[in-house]
Amino acid sequence: MSERAAIIGAGANELVAAHLLSRAGWKVVVLDSRAEDDPSTTTLGWVVPHIARELDLGRHGLQSMHADPWITVPVDGAARLDLWRDATRSAESIRRFSPADAARWPVFCERMAIVARALEALVSTAPPDPLADGIGELTGLAGLALRLRRLGRQGIEDLLRFVPMPIADLLDDWFECDALKGALGAAGILHLQQGPRSGGTALNFLHQQLGGPGGVFRAPRSNVEEVLASLPGIEIRRSVRVARISVRAHRVTGVALASGEEIAAPLVLCGADPRRTLLELLEPGWLEPEAVRAVRRIRSRGVVAQVLLELDREPGFTTLAVAPSLDDLERAYDDAKYGRISRAPYLEASAGGKSVRVHVQYAPYALADGTWDELRRDRLVDLVVRALDRSVPGLSKTVVSRRALAPPDLEARFGWPQGQMHHAELALDQWLWMRPIPELARYRTPISGLYLCGAATHPGAFVPGSSGYHAARQALKDARDPPREISSRISRGK
C-alpha cells in the first residue's frame, strides 16, 4: 500500500510537487485553505519547459499569456511610450522620445537575453552547492560551468557585472530617456523595499526576462495552477486549515487540521513561508535558538498594496505604468523607507475588460504612525485614482466600485508574509544556495520528512512550479537514500 504524503498549499509549487510524488507511487493529499469557489487566477512567471514536458502540461491546456504591449508609459500628458515584445516595434516607439535610445534598444535586448539564458541554467536545476564534495554535486557544478562558458566572454562579463548592479546604474549606462528608464527600472524594484539605486536590483529585473524569445519584456502569466489542479492522481481538499505539523522523535508524522482531524503522513511538503512553517506550524522546541533567529531574519518585508477598480467601460490600456523617472521611483522609496505610504507611489495598472488591478508600490506593511485602518485604505484609493486620472484623463468618472487590499489584507488572504508575494525578497544574499538561508537551501528542514516547497526557496520569484519540483525531487532522493544526519546547527533533540 502506498504511503501518504501531505502537501500544505495548492499553488503551482505545491501542485507540481504533489504530482511528482504521486507519479513516484505516493498517495498524495493537498490541503488548501482557499474555498472551492474562489475564482481561479493566472500565475505570474515562466514555467520551465522540462517541468511542463514531464507533467505533460501542454496536452492538458497550458497557456502562456503575454500582454503586448507589455507596458504603456504616459509621457508629458498626451504622449505614450509603448514597449512591445518585438524589439523593432519597441524601438520605433522609443524613437519618438530619443533616437539614440532607439538605436541602442536592439543591442540592449540582445545582451539582456544572453544573461537571461545564463540565469535559466541556474534556475532550471536545484541550487548548486559551492562546498560540495560528492561526485554527483561536483558533476552538476561542472555541467553548469560548461553551460555558462558557452555564453562567451561578453556574456560571462555581463552576467558578473549586471547581476549585482543597481538597476538605475545599469539603465543609466544605456539610455537617456527618463520615461524608458522609469518603466524598466520599476521591474527592478517590484516587491522589494529597495529603490532603483539599491545594489542588486538588476537581478530582479533580469529574473523577469527568463524564458523569453529575445527582446525585453515583463514576466508572462499562465494558467498553470488551473491545469495542475485538473490533472488526476492527487486528492485536493479545499477550505481546510492546517493547525500544526506533528513530529515524533525528530521525524514528521503528519498534520493536524483546525477541525481536529489528524492526517498521518511520513512526508510533508509545505508551501508556506519558512517563518510560518518552522516557527508557527511546527511544534516549539525542535530548532536551536540560533536557527530560530536565522529564520526570523529572513527578509520578507511587504511594501505593496493592490487597488481594485471596476469601471463602466474598458480603460483603453492593457498594462499602464506610472513611473516618470528613476528619480521619482527613488523618492517614492524614500517614503516607504521610513514607514510612510509614498505620496507618489509606483503604479502598474493591469486591465481585464472593465476590471483594473493596480499594483501600488510603495505602501509598507508596518507604518510609522498608526495602522492600516479603513481611512488609510480609502485615502490610498483616492491617491491612486487621482494619479491614474492624470495619465488617463476622465478615468475617475468611469469608476463604479473600488477597494484597496493593504499589505495586511494580502497576508490574510493569500498567506504572503507581511504581504510579500515572494515570501522572501529576491536579493543577492537570499539567492541560489543562500535562499532563503544556507541551512534551508536544499528544501530540507531539521525535521526528517518535512520539506519547504514555497516561493521562499530556490529559484523563487517568477518561476512558478520550480521550487516544488526541486523540493519533491529532493524528498524522493532522501526517501531512497536517507541523509546520514541533520545539521546540528539548526536542529535539537527533544
Asked whether residue 256 falls in the same domain as residue 119, the answer is no
> What is the predicted pLDDT for the residue at 306?
97
Is residue 452 within 8 A of residue 245, CB to CB? The reply is no
Ranges 205-219, 334-348, 478-492, most confident: 334-348
Residues 6+ apart with CB under 8 A from 374: none
**pLDDT, tens digit, 9 for 90 and up, residues 182-236:** 999 999 999 999 999 999 999 999 999 998 767 788 888 999 999 999 999 999 9
Residue 490 belongs to some domain of the structure:
no
Q: How much helix, strand and coil, in percent to the nearest 5, is found in the chain?
A: 40, 20, 40
Segments forming the whole domain that contains residue 229: 4-62+223-298+423-480
Asked whether residue 387 falls in the same domain as residue 435, the answer is no
Residue 93 belongs to some domain of the structure:
no
Asked whether residue 227 falls in the same domain as residue 162, the answer is no
Residue 357 belongs to some domain of the structure:
yes
**pLDDT, tens digit, 9 for 90 and up, residues 233-270:** 999 999 999 999 999 988 999 999 999 999 999 999 99
Instruction: Please say which residue of 216, 239, 255 terminates a domain.
Output: 216
Residue 325 belongs to some domain of the structure:
yes
Which whole number is the average pLDDT over 373-379?
96
Instruction: Please say which residue of 216, 246, 263 terminates a domain.
Output: 216
Task: Look at residue 40 and tell me whether its pLDDT is greater than 60.
Answer: no
Q: Which three cell numbers stand for residue 274?
A: 519558512
Asked whether residue 180 falls in the same domain as residue 238, the answer is no
Minimum mean pLDDT among 136-140, 313-317, 344-348, 366-370: which range? Answer: 136-140
Distances (CA, A) of 213 to 89, 176, 314: 15, 26, 30
Task: Look at residue 66 and tell me whether its pLDDT is greater than 90.
Answer: no
Residue 80 belongs to some domain of the structure:
no
Which residues lie across from 237 on neighbouring strands?
Answer: 31
Asked whether residue 147 falls in the same domain as residue 177, the answer is yes
The DSSP bridge pattern shows strands 71-75 and 43-44 to be: unpaired
**pLDDT, tens digit, 9 for 90 and up, residues 109-164:** 999 999 998 888 888 888 877 666 666 565 566 666 666 677 778 888 888 899 99
**pLDDT, tens digit, 9 for 90 and up, residues 395-406:** 999 999 999 999
Q: How many CB atoms lie within 10 A of CB 126?
A: 23
Asked whether residue 334 falls in the same domain as residue 382, the answer is yes
Asked whether residue 470 falls in the same domain as residue 396, the answer is no
Q: Is the model more confident about 211 or about 12?
A: 12
Which whole number is the average pLDDT over 52-76?
93
**pLDDT, tens digit, 9 for 90 and up, residues 415-450:** 999 999 999 999 999 999 999 999 998 999 999 999
Percent of the chain with pLDDT strictly greater than 70:
92
Task: Give me the phi and psi of 136, to 5 degrees please.
Answer: -65, -45
Residue 84 belongs to some domain of the structure:
no
Residue 144 belongs to some domain of the structure:
yes
* CATH number of the structural domain spanning residue 228: 3.50.50.60
Distances (CA, A) of 174 to 103, 153, 178: 10, 20, 12
Residue 95 belongs to some domain of the structure:
no
Asked whether residue 168 falls in the same domain as residue 315, the answer is no
User: For the chain, what is the domain count?
Assistant: 3
Q: Which three cell numbers stand for residue 339?
A: 514607514
> What is the predicted pLDDT for the residue at 38?
59
Asked whether residue 458 falls in the same domain as residue 406, the answer is no
Q: What is the mean pLDDT of the chain?
A: 91
> What is the predicted pLDDT for the residue at 488?
46
Task: Look at residue 39 and tell me whether its pLDDT is greater than 50.
Answer: no
The Cα–Cα gap between 473 and 332 comes to 42
Asked whether residue 186 falls in the same domain as residue 288, the answer is no
Asked whether residue 327 falls in the same domain as residue 464, the answer is no
> What is the predicted pLDDT for the residue at 1?
42
Instruction: Please say which residue of 199, 216, 233 terminates a domain.
Output: 216
Asked whether residue 311 falls in the same domain as residue 282, the answer is no
